[in-house]
Structure formats: structure tokens, C-alpha cells
A and B are shown apart, each in its own frame.
Chain A
Amino acid sequence: MYLSTKRALLLIGIIFSLTTFPGTLFAAGFDLVKFTTTPKTPGANESVLVLMNSFAVNLSTANITWYVNKEPIKNGMAEKSITVRTGDFGEQTIIDVIILTAEGQTLNKQLVIAPAEVDILWEAQTYTPPFYKGKALPSYKSMVRVTAIPRFNTLTSNPAEYYYKWTYDRIKGAGEAIGRNSIVIPVGYAGSSVPVDVETSLPGTEWKGAKYVAIPVSDPKVTLYEQAPLLGTLFHHALKQSTETTGTEFTVRAVPYFFSLDGLLNGELSYKWNVGNQYRQSEVDAQNLTLVRSGKNLESQTISLDVQNPKRILQHARVQGVISFTSQE
């Protein structure tokens, strides 16, 4: 039964091809012969294993000739695979195969490898302070925007022209469409990472690309800085575990890092200050704590702070330190 189906398909293929190109079977139109490549979407200057298989043609008894960019590379009985190296961006690798079956029929098959490359950029929608030049990192249950920048025939690209298929957490679809070069996804727990895959292609062409990235999830943190009356927050110097001041008053500013942006901008973060193990009511600006020397002698005050996002309770950070007033009156 199986054999007869194979023969019938082959016969249909032969009849069709003879009506168009007498003497030669063009297998491409019927997928009588299929190619698979490893990797699935090869990049530029990469070694690629090309494997041929067929349910309709007995390749094990066929004489197979491989051409790469019109140069004969390999010939022999049952030569069903070849390893080729792709070119630079913009260079297509054209693989032609001529199959001479035991029955004396000739089949042609062509594969075009058009190396594509995709950069995946991602940005966490978490908070970093003004003028901070570093990257915002994702934390527990924060959102991350992922953007693909594909390149096919040059080093530049217009992302809007391409087709994208997104997957995250290996199986969750995140959308596919022409021009959809960006998605927003949630992440999980600190210490884990979220795998994201994108497949891209330029409609109407052979160009294809794919990229995978793992987005690591971090812990949020809070750092203390001096809030100087004339200079503002001294972002260049975080307060160390122990800080000395010669003044009689010292204002500490708490700066959260990597808490979800929406919670922070909506004023939802809670700041719980303690001074010497005593809870201290927040000031008008909950990020600030002003310490005043209580007497005329040298003294040290131990402070601690807990910052939490009540809507994502594991977005929590704690910091503590000692402020020492070192001048005497």
C-alpha cells in the first residue's frame, strides 16, 4: 500500500514535470525531496549540515550530485548529506542537487541558504534613578520589553518590513505578525531566567533568521545616598556601612533600583525607616530621612530601611547603616 502511494506520487510528479520541463523532474514543486538543515536557521559564516530525505524517492539507491554555488562538490550513491559554510551577510549559498534514481529518472532540487541575523534587545520596565547610565534589570514579576533587530542583506534593516514569530518560556506564544518587532512579557522569580525566541523572515524572499536569549531576573535593591542641601542627591557616592558627618543634621536619601516602574511612579512603594530599632514615621518625602544630633557629644545612629512593592511582595529590599556625628560643640 505504502509503496503504491509512493509510486503514484512519483508518477504524478513525473507527468507534471514532463509537461513543463521534459526530461527532468523538478522536485521542488512537490516536495518529493525535502531538505533539513542544522542549525535550522543558519547564520553568516557558519557551518551547516544539509540533509536530504524523501518519502517518494529511494535516495539510498540513487546517485546524488551536490553543487554549491554551481560548483560540483560531492557525487556518489546515497550521498544524502553535505556540510557547507555560509557566506557573509548578503551572500546567498545556493545548493543544487541532481538525483539520478535507480529507475533512471532525474530529479533536481534547490536549497537557498540566506544567512540572517537577529539581535534581541530587552529592557526591563523597572526603576533606576535619574541620570543613571546603567541598565534597568528585571525583578520579580516585572515586565520586560523585548525588541528584535533583524539584518538580512546588509548590516542595516527596516524592522517594520519583516515577519516575526515570538515565543517565551519555550512554549508560550507572544504573537506573530509582519512588523511586530517588539513584545512585552512578564518574568518570574529572582534567580531564574526567561527564555525568549524569535523567528524572523522577509516575506517573498528566502531570508530567514532566528535568535534566542535568556533574560535573567535579579533582586531589586535600595541604596542610600546623602541628600545635600545645596547639591541635591550625591549619586556618585553611595553611603558606606558607616558614614561620618561633621554637621548637626544629615539627610539620607533612599534610592530604589529595579522595582517595577508602574508601582514606583504610582507611589505604591512602601518605605519603612528604623532609627536605632525604633520605627520612624516617613517624612513628606518617604525616600528621605533626616537625622539630627540629639546632644552635643559624639554620637552614632543606626538606621535601617525596608522597601517593598505591595503589589509584588517579593519585590523587597533592605539596607542598613550607621551615621556618626563626629564634631563636638
Chain B
Amino acid sequence: MEQEEQRKRWWIWIVAGIVVVLLVILVLLLTLGKDTSIARKVGAVLPFGQVLPETPVSDIIGDITPTGSEETPVITGEEPVFRQLSKESVAGFTTVIRDGITYVRYVLRENGNIHEVDPSTGTDRQITNTTIPRVYEAFFGNNGNTIIMRYLKRVLNNDVIVTYLGNLELPTNEESMGSIRSSTEFLPDNISAVSISPDGTRLFYLLPVSDGVSGTLISLNATLFPKEVFRNSFSEWLPQLFDDGTILLTTKPSAGIAGYSYLYDPIKKTLTRIVREKNGLTTFGDSVGSRILFGENVANAPFLGMYTKKSFSSHEGVENHEALIPLATLPEKCAWGVLPSTLYCGSFVGSTGTKLPDEWYQGLISLSDTFWMVNTDTTEITFIADPESVIQKHFDVIMPLIDKSGRHFIFVNKEDDSLWSMRLPKPTGDLGSMNVSETLPPLTPEEQKDAAGSIR
């Protein structure tokens, strides 16, 4: 009898042991191997729901960066998805790397003071106190050490555009304040458009002249040496200078008017047509002009396309240079990633029926963007974030830029000219092009506070 009792206890212990071992295996499986298909299948049948990847609260997941790429961001801590870098109006910005840390260097519209902010922490610091009031446009070159500010002066009841070129005298220590030293090169009044090469070494500007327009190239290194490289009877161009010195010249757009885009080679003096006869045409190329985004207005709806220098065969076997990207946006709402095939864009809906881009440029309409990544090799798009669902805010993206580390999408919100960063997602294996908004946990109150305004 006693032996039978003991045998029963043994069986209970054995069964209990097996159950414990199974539970341990299950727990290990769900934690260490959470992304495996077995874990997913197991999770799917569990009564407490689907297993989700363990994500930092504010991280966005999704297969948005090629695994093992140089662009793979390494995100630590609890950095919010969106962070306001400046509440005040910003005229322009760039990113610089100092002591291994990426900073956003920006110009305040109201006084031309330059600040630096760490997008990972939100720590902000003013670095110059030279006052230039009411700056409408600012551009950085020469690794963020040269500044071009554009403002207006009133002469005989007419606006005159002044383009100021200066070099930064950075503060020597944490307590001191830097300044801007005027360049020895004075740029003429009423420059109609300015473009700085992505590597920051050269500046190209267009100046209206009596018989059309003149284009001048200036090296931003120690020797400025301006040189006129372009002259044309047509003056209404928007230029983009590439690193190889060629210049993309696109006619200024209007919704119902056919636009053209040409690549100008200042050495050969040749004008090669890139895009033709597209209404409301706007363009934005990568750093060397091998891929050029173009936007067009088709029946008052925006379409995005891409021109590639290298042709590819279409379905009919015809050599083609143009591909459609399935995003409703304007090229100027996009930024090229660190990888040449990667593009990040703000994309809007509800613009049908509006005269784009005219009404947007005139400030008559605002656009509300969600954020997307495009693989330009395949034109596949991947959703990144909807700011309305993340921080209940609308963004109308302008001046987008990917920071040098490839970890942040920096942009100005046209709504109020404030400066923002969006942390780019961490790659999480082969989740594919899923809609990640559903897997994004809500921000904690602290993070919401942080995201709403985290500087100073």
C-alpha cells in the first residue's frame, strides 16, 4: 500500500518535472527565438495572443533597411520616434559629425543665430551670436563651416534679395560663443536660386541678367574663385548642383504647364534633356545625379517617378529610363538615404483637385505627411510611421535630410517652420513590407512630453 503511494508520488514528480521542462523550453523558445516561424505558430495558438517582437517602446520595426548594410542604425535607449529639435522657425540646417556624435546644425530665421542639437538626446546649444535678422533661406557647405543666408532688404519699395556668405568661427570651449566671419567674396543682389553640392564643396547660383540668366560656380574651400559657367536666354530655372559638378536645371513648375529638366555640363557646355513635358514638374536627384526623382501633376493628382541614367528594359523590351514610384508626394519631400538605393519620403493624401505645387508654394494649402521608405532598385515602398497616430501631430515636410549616420530623418515642418527629427527604424529581419503602425506600442507620457518639445 505504502509502495503504491510512493509510486504515485514518483509519477506525480515525473509528470511535474516534464511539465516544468516543457514550460522552460517554451519560455526559451518565445524569448530567444521569438522571430522564428515555430515561435509564431506557437504564439498564434496561445490563448493570450500573438507573440510580438520585443521592441523598445518608441522603436518602429519593419524590414526597411537591407540587413547588414552600412545604413543599419544602431539605436540604444528609449529615443522617441519624433523629436522636436527647435520650436522656433528654422531657415536651414545640415548635419555634422563631431567626436563621433551626429549633430544637427541649424539657423534661426529670426536672428540668424546658429545652434547645434543632438537628435539622439535633444541637447541643444547655441554656437554663434552673430545677428542677421529675418533669414528666409540658409544653406550650409564645407562640412557645416560655411553658411549662406538669404534675406530681404527694401529698396525703393521693392524687395531685394541679399545673399550673405560667411564662415563659422566655432566656440573654443563649452562656455564660449562662436560667430560668423563674413567672406571676402560678396555675392550679388537678387540671386534667384542657390544650390550647394551634396558634398558641400561648391556653390552654384543663378543671377537674372538683361538677356536671360547667368550661372556661377564657386568653390567653398579656401579659394573661392567664382566663375560664370552658364548663360541662357531662359531664366526661370531651379538648379541642383551635383558632386561631379554637373547641374540639373528644371523649369519652375506650375500645375497646368509642361515642364522640362536638363542636365548641364559646365565643362562640355552641353544641355542634355532628362525629363520632358510633364505638368507641374519638380525634380530632386541623388548626390551624383544618377537617379533623379520627378514629380508631375496629372489631372490635379500628384505622381512620383524616377529617371535613371542607366536604362532598363521594360516589359515590352523597350529601353526605358523612367519608373513610377507608387507614392503621392513631391520630390522635395524626399531625402536620399546613405545607401544610394534608399529613399525616404513624406507622402500626403487628400490633395486631389488642388493645383500642385503652385498652391502649396503660395501657402494656400497644407499637406499632412506620413513617412515611407522606397527601395529605388525595385520601387517597393515600406511604411514607416504616421505622426498623427504616434504623437497626434500633422507634419508638412520640407527640407528633408538623412543625417550622416543614417539614423535620423531630419526635416522642417512647413506648418510652423519648426525643426524635427524622426528616428529611422531598426531592421528586424524579414518582416517584409508590413504595416508597422499596428505593431508600434504607444509612447509613454514621458516620451510624449519629450517628443512634444525636448530642447532647452
**Which residues of A does B touch, CB under 8 Å?**
119, 121, 123, 129-137, 145, 147, 149, 151, 155-158, 181-182, 216, 223, 225, 230-232, 234-238, 257, 265, 267, 285-286
Contact A223:B364 (CB < 8 A) given known A134-B253, A135-B253, A182-B212: yes
Contact A216:B256 (CB < 8 A) given known A136-B236, A267-B156: yes
Instruction: Tell me which residues across on chain B come within 8 A of A238, comparing CB atoms.
Output: 362-364
Contact A156:B272 (CB < 8 A) given known A181-B233, A231-B109, A265-B158: yes
Contact A132:B234 (CB < 8 A) given known A230-B134, A232-B152: no
A-B contact pairs, 26 of them (CB 8 A): A119-B260, A121-B234, A123-B234, A123-B236, A123-B252, A130-B159, A132-B361, A132-B362, A134-B252, A134-B362, A135-B358, A147-B233, A156-B268, A158-B269, A230-B133, A231-B134, A232-B134, A232-B136, A232-B151, A234-B363, A236-B414, A237-B415, A238-B363, A257-B362, A267-B157, A267-B158
In Å, the complex CA distance between A240 and B22 comes to 67
In Å, the complex CA distance between A53 and B212 comes to 46
In Å, the complex CA distance between A116 and B342 comes to 37
Do A155 and B273 touch (CB < 8 A)?
Answer: yes
- Which residue from B136, B253, B257, B270 sits with its C-beta under 8 Å from A130? B136
Do A145 and B364 touch (CB < 8 A)?
Answer: no
Do B161 and A131 touch (CB < 8 A)?
Answer: yes
Q: At the interface, yes or no: B89 with Cβ under 8 Å from chain A?
A: yes
Instruction: Tell me which residues across on chain B come within 8 A of A135, comparing CB atoms.
Output: 236, 251-254, 257, 259, 358
- Which residue from B158, B260, B272, B363 sits with its C-beta under 8 Å from A155? B272
Residue total for B at the interface (Cβ-Cβ under 8 A): 50
Report the minimal beta-carbon distance from B314 to chain A, rounded to whole angstroms.
15
Contact A133:B238 (CB < 8 A) given known A121-B260, A285-B157: yes
Q: At the interface, yes or no: B98 with Cβ under 8 Å from chain A?
A: no
Q: A223-B364, A237-B366 are in contact. List 11 more A-B contacts (CB 8 A).
A: A121-B234, A123-B252, A129-B159, A130-B136, A130-B161, A133-B252, A134-B254, A147-B212, A149-B273, A230-B133, A235-B136
B121-139 contacts to A, CB under 8 A, are: 133-134, 136-137
Report the minimal beta-carbon distance from B154 to chain A, rounded to whole angstroms.
7
Q: At the interface, yes or no: B276 with Cβ under 8 Å from chain A?
A: yes
Instruction: Tell me which residues across on chain A come within 8 A of B270, comparing CB atoms.
Output: 156
In Å, the complex CA distance between A137 and B251 comes to 13
Name the residue on A nearest B212 (C-beta): A182
- Which residue from B136, B137, B159, B233 sits with its C-beta under 8 Å from A182? B233
Instruction: Tell me which residues across on chain A come within 8 A of B157, comparing CB atoms.
Output: 267, 285-286
Q: At the interface, yes or no: B150 with Cβ under 8 Å from chain A?
A: yes
Q: At the interface, yes or no: B271 with Cβ under 8 Å from chain A?
A: yes
Instruction: Tell me which residues across on chain A come within 8 A of B151, comparing CB atoms.
Output: 232
In Å, the complex CA distance between A133 and B283 comes to 12
Do A130 and B152 touch (CB < 8 A)?
Answer: yes
In Å, the complex CA distance between A218 and B154 comes to 28
In Å, the complex CA distance between A216 and B256 comes to 9
In Å, the complex CA distance between A284 and B67 comes to 62
Name the residue on B nearest A128 (C-beta): B252
Chain B window 350-372, contacts with chain A (Cβ cutoff 8 Å), 1 for yes, 0 for no: 00000001100111101000000
In Å, the complex CA distance between A119 and B273 comes to 9
In Å, the complex CA distance between A136 and B361 comes to 12
Q: At the interface, yes or no: B235 with Cβ under 8 Å from chain A?
A: yes
Instruction: Tell me which residues across on chain B come within 8 A of A132, comparing CB atoms.
Output: 361-362
Instruction: Tell me which residues across on chain A come within 8 A of B232, comparing CB atoms.
Output: 147
Name the residue on B nearest A146 (C-beta): B234
In Å, the complex CA distance between A100 and B7 comes to 118
Instruction: Tell me which residues across on chain B come within 8 A of A237, comparing CB atoms.
Output: 363, 366, 415
Instruction: Tell me which residues across on chain A come within 8 A of B109, comparing CB atoms.
Output: 231-232
Name the residue on A nearest B161 (C-beta): A130
- Which residue from A137, A156, A216, A225 sits with its C-beta under 8 Å from B363? A225
Chain B window 235-263, contacts with chain A (Cβ cutoff 8 Å), 1 for yes, 0 for no: 11010000000000001111011011010
Chain B CB within 10 A, most for which of A129, A231, A265, A286:
A231
Chain B window 108-128, contacts with chain A (Cβ cutoff 8 Å), 1 for yes, 0 for no: 011100000000000000000
Name the residue on A nearest B282 (C-beta): A133
Do A131 and B253 touch (CB < 8 A)?
Answer: no
In Å, the complex CA distance between A143 and B431 comes to 58
Instruction: Tell me which residues across on chain A come within 8 A of B447, comparing CB atoms.
Output: none
In Å, the complex CA distance between A230 and B91 comes to 13
Report the minimal beta-carbon distance from B66 to chain A, rounded to whole angstroms.
34
Do B414 and A147 touch (CB < 8 A)?
Answer: no
- Which residue from B110, B361, B414 sits with its C-beta under 8 Å from A134? B361
Name the residue on B nearest A181 (C-beta): B233
Instruction: Tell me which residues across on chain B come within 8 A of A235, comparing CB atoms.
Output: 136, 363
Instruction: Tell me which residues across on chain B come within 8 A of A136, comparing CB atoms.
Output: 236, 252
In Å, the complex CA distance between A121 and B252 comes to 10
